[in-house]
Amino acid sequence: MTMQLVLSGCGNADGVEIVDGNLEATIVNEETEENAATDNEENVATDTNENDMSDKHITVIKHNVICKSDESDEVLAEGSYPEIILDDGLKKENPELSKYIDELNENFEKENLDMIADDGANAKDSNIKAQSGTLVEVKRADGKVLTLYISGFGEAAVLYSYVNSKNLVFTTGDEVKINQVINDPSSFAEGILAGLNKEHADLVEECWGTDEKENIKRLEGYINDDQLTYFVNEEGIRVDFDETFFAHWCMPDDVYVMLSNADYPELINKEYAVDTKQNLDEIVEYKEVEEPIIVAPSVE
């Protein structure tokens, strides 16, 4: 920092004060400019760290459930449901997201307890012990978007499973629709079909047929209706498929398509893009409650 003495004729000049007949120099523009520069640097730092998750924490708890009748100690059905817990800092900074998560947790608990109680009632007649429940996995948590993969499973007379995603804005709790994330639905649909044909051509042919135009049209419908399960990371956008899209009897495990930023550089809206790899293990912790919750079979 430099000091500038400014003199201009008689009386007070910018940067000069007359005290007891002496001139005392004061620091002028340079100090003001340096203060402004410091303020700008602080603002930039604030903007950069706006989505910092280094000191934030999310816990996903698995609650096990069993169904027993009053007459017997036999387990008629079993399953589980998840609970998502945001730390106090996240709750305070994102009250709308916290409210959404609370409602989601309430639905998880009620729906799964009711379902397992119903499975227990059915087991009394069929003698088939059912397993069912819901699981949650966090796929993204960067302070901008929280992505939850919610999977359901059931096994009794018929085995079934499904997975869907919720992409939530941290600051508002709003769900992000897939047509907000991508810039070109047609290119997106074409890329998904190309990826499916590359890895699962037999599955596509058996369930959807070989008409490429019709299959792209089908995928565009899924996009417009926000039916696709997806998440965005530093590599690009990944789309996962379950029995909603393909018949379960010919469905292999882990059917997905990854459209990379390298192959589709303009596909993802910059507002929802991910620039750097995130270590979710440092943010998300998965726990399981050992003592199961006991419910009675439902009564019609």
Give the count of beta carbons closer than 10 Å to the beta carbon of residue 237. 26
**Judgement on whether residues 153 and 12 belong to the same structural domain of the protein:** no
72 with 119, same domain: the answer is yes
Handedness of CA 140, 145, 146, 152 (dihedral sign): negative
Are residues 165 and 298 located together in one domain of the fold?
yes
Looking at residue 29, its pLDDT comes to 42
Residue 94 burial by CB count (10 A; 0-12/13-18/19+): exposed, middle or buried? buried
The amino acid present at 146, given as its one-letter code, is L
Q: What is the residue range of 41's domain? A: 1-48
Q: How many domains does the chain have?
A: 3
Evaluate if residue 42 carries a pLDDT over 90: no
Q: Tell me: do 154 and 234 sit in the same domain.
A: no
Output the pTM of the full model: 0.80
My answer on whether 194 and 221 are in the same domain is: yes
Amino acid 254: pLDDT: 84
Q: What's residue 50's pLDDT?
A: 54
CA distances from residue 37 to 45, 141, 142 in whole angstroms, order as listed: 12, 32, 29
Predicted confidence band at 34 (pLDDT cuts at 50, 70, 90)? very low
Nearest to 155 by CA among 117, 181, 128: 128
3-state secondary structure of 197: helix
pLDDT band for position 30 (cuts 50, 70, 90) = very low
Residues 127 and 245 in one domain: no
Give burial (CB, 10 Å; 0-12/13-18/19+) of 157: exposed
Backbone angles phi, psi at 123, to 5 degrees: -65, -30
User: Residue 112 and residue 98: Cα distance in Å, rounded?
Assistant: 21
Q: Check residue 156 and give its pLDDT.
A: 57
Place of tokens 């629709």: 177
Question: How much of the chain exceeds pLDDT 90, in percent?
Answer: 67
Give the CATH number, domain containing residue 285: 3.30.565.40
- Mean pLDDT within 22-43: 41
In the chain, the percentage of residues whose pLDDT exceeds 70 is 80
In this structure, what token pair is assigned to residue 58?
Answer: 């999310």
Task: List C-alpha distances in Å: 199 to 49, 196, 212, 228, 252.
Answer: 40, 5, 16, 18, 11
The pLDDT value given to residue 28: 36
Per the CB < 8 A criterion, the answer to whether 127 and 110 are in contact is no
Q: Which residue has the tokens 């998502």?
A: 84
> Which range, of 85-99, 148-162, 165-179, 224-238, averages the lowest pLDDT?
148-162
Are 77 and 163 contained in the same domain? yes
Per-residue pLDDT at 24: 38
Assess whether pLDDT exceeds 50 at residue 25.
no
* Confidence at residue 14, expressed as pLDDT on a 0 to 100 scale: 41
Do 168 and 72 share a structural domain?
yes
- Tokens standing for 270? 């910059």
Measured CA to CA, the distance from residue 300 to residue 64 in angstroms comes to 24
Residues 233 and 288 in one domain: no
pLDDT at 155 (0 to 100): 75
Residue-wise pLDDT for 108-146, tens only, equals 999 999 999 999 998 887 778 889 999 999 999 999 999
Task: List phi, psi (to 5°) of 116.
Answer: -70, -35
pLDDT for residue 291 is more than 70: yes
State mean pLDDT over 250-255.
Answer: 78
Predicted pLDDT at 164: 94
One-letter amino acid at 185 equals: P
Same domain for 167 and 211, yes or no, is: no
Mark whether 69 and 119 lie in a shared domain.
yes
Calculate the alpha carbon distances from 250 to 131, 166, 204, 247 in Å: 22, 26, 10, 6
Query: Same domain, yes or no, for 32 and 122?
Result: no
pLDDT surpasses 90 at 70: no
